[in-house]
Structure formats: structure tokens, C-alpha cells
Amino acid sequence: MNTKKHHTDHKIYGVGASAGISIGKAYVMKKNVIAVTGALLRDDNEVIKEIEKFEIAVRMSVEEVLTIKKGDRLKLKEEEIEILETHIEFLTDPQLKADVYREIHRDRRPAMDAVIEVIKKNVGVFKNMDNEYLRARAADVQDIGDRIVKNIRRRKSHDTPVFEPGTIIIAEDILPSDAITLDMTCVTGFATSLGGKTSHTAILAKSRTIPAVLGCGNALTGIDDGDVLILDAINGIVIVNPNEACMEEYRAEKDRYDRKRQSLNSLRHTPASTTDGVGIELLANISGADDLEESWEYGAEGSGLFRTELLFMNRDSVPPEEEQFEYYRRVAIRSKGKVVTVRTIDIGGDKPLDYFGLGQEENPFLGYRGIRISLDKKDIFMAQLKAILRAGVFGNLRIMFPMISNMQELRVAKGILEETRRELEENNIDFARDMPVGIMIEVPSAAVTADLLAREVDFFSIGTNDLCQYTLAVDRGNEKVKDLYNPFDPAVLRLIAYVVEQAHKRKISVGMCGELASDPRATLLLIGMGLKEFSMSAVSIPAIKSVIINHSYTRAKEIYEKILGMDNSESIINYLQQQT
């Protein structure tokens, strides 16, 4: 029996479906399989009886699900109530009923065989769907089928097992209603052979914040009741009977993770306002739809910078409009009405792409890059604009041009945008008509003419990395001069303050998406200048938020006033460090 038993420290790999680490003992859930009887009904009388059996079993099943739903013992989460609602719909489905009737009536099969057959067929259909979400619904169909069969056989619900504290459940799969009715207070983890990120076990684990490693395949069969397990759901690993060193490592890791989680959770729903009530918008910089979930976790209220370069990288040719449309649309849909600022491609400089044929340049940062390439390669630019405008129908997108250095450039870019809109209009293609248009302010010439540029756009976003290196004439990548690169230099700060001031004057919104936005030393100073929108890598949001919620706007203004009288970055940084 124990021939398959795993050795110490045996590792099993699956999909981490709900993050976290759990250490505990295995409880192996076994599944009883019910086979068809193969009997055939002899006469119409039996047919009527079997149909009646089926109907009664369905009614009992609906009752059971309603009872689970009403039961307050379980303290059901919203997601779980939804699952049960779906089950009631499946149980009373007219198509299911018609199929079962046909099996009983035409094929003369007993109710139980008919249900097993029809459920098997439907489970098969769901399992073969090309959409992960729908594939996961196969478990729902199996679940309601099992329930009807159980009621046809007039079996009582099997007692729910009682778990010891620190139990990690090992199962082939956990059927949705089982998962809901299990007493979870002592369960600290799940590992299953089947299932993936959108399965019920994943939903359940997430809603209860229990670590889960799913889709482990047959490797789990060697685990016995009582085996000590480490469930690393961050990396999707199950470690069976770990040695002491490994345990020690994971205890520390778990501690770190849990503490981080806790501090995140406590800040996540706290609005980012100063102690005197000035609201600040904290946004995430993203590269695609996959970054959104993490952004929400860290409390982002949208995205101030959606870099589109990722889609253009690691390939041999420009992605066609349709592919771009799909990519942007996914972001639009998944951002649930929150603002997302889509920056048109910003390649060249430090981000070269072979198929654009950019070639070697003496001074790439002062050369062919950003909007300059887009304006030159108009067909590529228009395809991207079309895709963005079309995707705008599905969410709250803004469009942003990088590297604008003067008014002519902006006007040409806007002209092409207008031409793109006309083309979509003429071809009767749906697009977001009033999508806001903004520019990055990252070239000093744009910063000092912010008053002029502000007349022609809906928003500014200050890119501090380039603004700093262009203003100070410092290449950050050059070891010999990189110490001169300093966004706290009065020259850079003056430019930023001027841009913010001019944006306010023209009543357009202004944000910052460069590295300075995620530097907690700069937060109060920037707020003091009047900046109210910060976009950064999502992980930085909690740190910036905690600065904001612990200080007042009045204080921020004082700090800015004070800095105005300082003539070098060293004293400015020293002063700022004393303030927070």
C-alpha cells in the first residue's frame, strides 16, 4: 500500500491558485464513484415511476441547496451564494430535464442511469470548451448530477468530516457544494489533482484566503492521512514530509508573507487622503491586463501609465491592429470602469526593437524615439490609435503621447488622431468618441512650454526619469556621471512645479508616472506643489499611501515653501528625510 509513499522533502508542482503559505497535516478526501446499473425498464408503468423518481429527486436537491444557502452556520461569502444560485438553475434546467426524460422514455433507462448519462455528456461538453472559466463549470454540472443521483438512491448526505486544526485537504477535486459545506475553520490549505485558477476550489480558497495548490495531477496519490505538508501557494509547490531545515525556512517565509499581507489589507481600503481631507489619487503603472489584479490588491484606483511596448517586444513584426485591440480591450474590460492611461509606443533610446530598423545612433536618447518614431511611421501609429480608440468602448481609457518636445509635434500627433477617428467613423466602426488625450512631460522644452501645451490637451503626466536626465544632462547608465542624476535638484523640481501650476491654471489634470512618484521622500513635497495624481509600480502604493494619510496638506505646502529657499539637492533631501 505504501509503496508509493513519498520520501522526505518530496516536491509536487501545481498551480498556486490562492497565494500564501500553509504548514499542516494531510487529510485525504476519497471519492465514491457510482456506476450505471445497465438495467432497462420493462413497461410504461416503470417509465412513469422512474420519471417521478427523477422529479422528486430534483425537488429534494433544490431543497437541499436552498437549505445550504439559507444556513447561517456557514457564513457564506457572496461568491459562494452565487455558486449555489447557479446550481439551482442547473437543477431546474429545462434542457437537462428534457434530456433525462428522453433517456428514460425513449431509451427505457432507469432514472439513475439516465441522469448519470446526461450529466456525463454535459460535463464532457463543458470540459472541452475553449474558455477556462467555462471549463471550470464542468464541476458544477458534476456536482448537481451527483446530488440528483444521491437523492434518487435516497441516500442521506454523508456527514461532513470533522477536521483537526491545521488540516490541509488533499483531493482529486473538491465539488463546489462540498467545498461550501465543509467546516473550514480548521482547514489551512488545499491541494487537488484537478482544477486551475478559475475552479471552485480556487474561488473558495481565495474568498476565505486559504492557500491552495491546484492541478497537481497524479502526484498527490502518494500522500497519506497525517503526512506533514508545506503548501507553498505562492510558487505552486507542495512539499511532503519536509526536513527540519526546510520547515524552518518556510516558517520564516510564512511569517514574512502573513505580515506583509496584513499590512496591505489594512491599507488597501483606506482612501489616500491627507489628515485635513485632501484626496490623492494613487494609480498603478501596468504593462497589460495581467498586472491589474495585483494593482487592485495594492489599492490602485486605476492606471496612470499603461506601457504598450510589451506587446511589441519579443516578436518579429508589428502586432496587427486586431491583436492590439484584443490586448487593450482586455485591459479596458478588466479595469472595471477605472481610468487607464494608454501610452502609445515609446521605443528607441533604451528600448530598441529590431524589426523597426532603428539602427545604431550616436545619441539614442537624443535621437529617433517615442512619438518621433510614431509620427514618422504613420501606418503603425494609426493602427495603434485605432486599436486604442476601439477598445475605449469597453472601459475608461485615456490616450497619452510620449516624448512630446514641442507644439508642432503635438499638433501633428493630434492631427493623425483626428484622421484615425474619421476613418473609423467612415467605416462605421464603434469607438470611444470623447477619449481624453494627454501627453507625457519628460523633455525640458515641453516642461517650460507647459502653459502653451496645456491649451491643446486634456491632461499631463510628468515622466521624471527622462525629465531629470535631460534637464541635468546626465546619462543614468553612465557610471562616471550617474551621481549627478538627482530628481531633487532644484532645476528639476522647478520644472515639475511649473508644469503642475500651468495645468491647474488651464484646469487640466496633471499626474506623475516617473520614479519620483514612488519615492516616499518626495510625496509631501509634490503634494505641496499641488500634484494630486501619482502613478507607480503597484507594490509602492502602500508606502506612499501611509505617508499621505499621516500628514496634512497644510504641512505639505509648508514643506514646499521651505524647499523653494534651498539651492541644492543635498540640503533638500536632508530636509525631506527629517519630515517623514
Site for other proteins in 59-118 (CB under 8 A): 82-83, 85-86, 89-90, 93-96
**122: contact with other proteins by CB under 8 A:** yes
Site for other proteins in 410-449 (CB under 8 A): 430
Check if the beta carbon of residue 284 is closer than 8 Å to that of residue 334.
no
Select 131 or 574, whichever has its Cβ closest to other proteins: 131
Select 96 or 180, whichever has its Cβ closest to other proteins: 96
Min dist. Cβ of residue 336 to other proteins (A): 9
Q: Helix 490-505 and helix 569-579: axis angle, to 10°?
A: 70
Letter for the amino acid at 109? Answer: R
Count interface residues toward other proteins (CB under 8 A): 28
Binding pattern for the stretch 322-351 against other proteins, x by CB under 8 A and - elsewhere: -------xx--xx-----------------
* Local structure of 533: helix, strand or coil: strand
Min dist. Cβ of residue 149 to other proteins (A): 17
Q: Quick check: is 513 catalytic?
A: yes
Q: Quick check: is 105 catalytic?
A: no
Q: What is the 3-state secondary structure (H, E, C) of 73-126?
A: CCCCCHHHHHHHHHHHHHHCCHHHHHHHHHHHHCCCCCHHHHHHHHHHHHHHHH
Check if the beta carbon of residue 560 is closer than 8 Å to that of residue 551.
no
Select 13 or 126, whichever has its Cβ closest to other proteins: 126
Strands (E), 421-508: 437-441, 459-462
**140: contact with other proteins by CB under 8 A:** yes
Select 27 or 90, whichever has its Cβ closest to other proteins: 90
Category of 382 on φ-ψ map: left (φ > 0), alpha (ψ -120 to 50) or beta = alpha
Min dist. Cβ of residue 413 to other proteins (A): 28
Select 137 or 532, whichever has its Cβ closest to other proteins: 137
**207: contact with other proteins by CB under 8 A:** no
Min dist. Cβ of residue 329 to other proteins (A): 7
Select 96 or 187, whichever has its Cβ closest to other proteins: 96
Q: In what order do the strands lie in the sheet with 10-13?
A: 10-13, 237-240, 228-232, 21-28, 167-171, 187-192, 212-214, 15-18
What are the helix (H) ranges across 335-406?
A: 371-376, 378-391
Q: What is the 3-state secondary structure (H, E, C) of 92-103?
A: CCHHHHHHHHHH
Min dist. Cβ of residue 203 to other proteins (A): 11
Which of 359, 357, 421 lies closest to 389, judged by CA? Answer: 421
**Which range of residues in 137-145, 234-242, 378-386, 513-521 is near other proteins by CB under 8 A?**
137-145
Min dist. Cβ of residue 280 to other proteins (A): 27
Check if the beta carbon of residue 283 is closer than 8 Å to that of residue 299.
no
Select 95 or 445, whichever has its Cβ closest to other proteins: 95
**Which range of residues in 12-20, 127-135, 188-196, 241-249 is near other proteins by CB under 8 A?**
127-135
**394: contact with other proteins by CB under 8 A:** yes
Select 129 or 564, whichever has its Cβ closest to other proteins: 129
CA distance 153 to 473: 82
**Which range of residues in 134-142, 206-214, 256-264, 455-463 is near other proteins by CB under 8 A?**
134-142
Please write down the long-range contacts of 124-127, taking CB distance under 8 Å and 24 or more positions apart: none
Select 102 or 411, whichever has its Cβ closest to other proteins: 102
**386: contact with other proteins by CB under 8 A:** no
**Which residue of the set 6, 200, 216, 468 is catalytic?**
200
Lookup: cell for 11 = 516536491
Min dist. Cβ of residue 333 to other proteins (A): 4
Min dist. Cβ of residue 558 to other proteins (A): 44
Min dist. Cβ of residue 137 to other proteins (A): 6
Residue 140 burial (10 A CB sphere; 0-12, 13-18, 19+) = buried
Among 6, 53, 108, 137, binds other proteins (CB under 8 A): 137
Among 34, 39, 40, 129, binds other proteins (CB under 8 A): 129
* Local structure of 314: helix, strand or coil: coil
Letter for the amino acid at 336? Answer: K
CA distance 439 to 418: 16
**Which residue of the set 6, 87, 216, 513 is catalytic?**
513
**52: contact with other proteins by CB under 8 A:** no
C-alpha torsion sign, points 72, 77, 79, 80: negative
Lookup: cell for 88 = 439551482
Residues known to be catalytic = 200, 513
Residues of this chain that interact with other proteins (CB under 8 A) are 82-83, 85-86, 89-90, 93-96, 122, 125-126, 129-131, 133-134, 137, 140-141, 329-330, 333-334, 393-394, 430
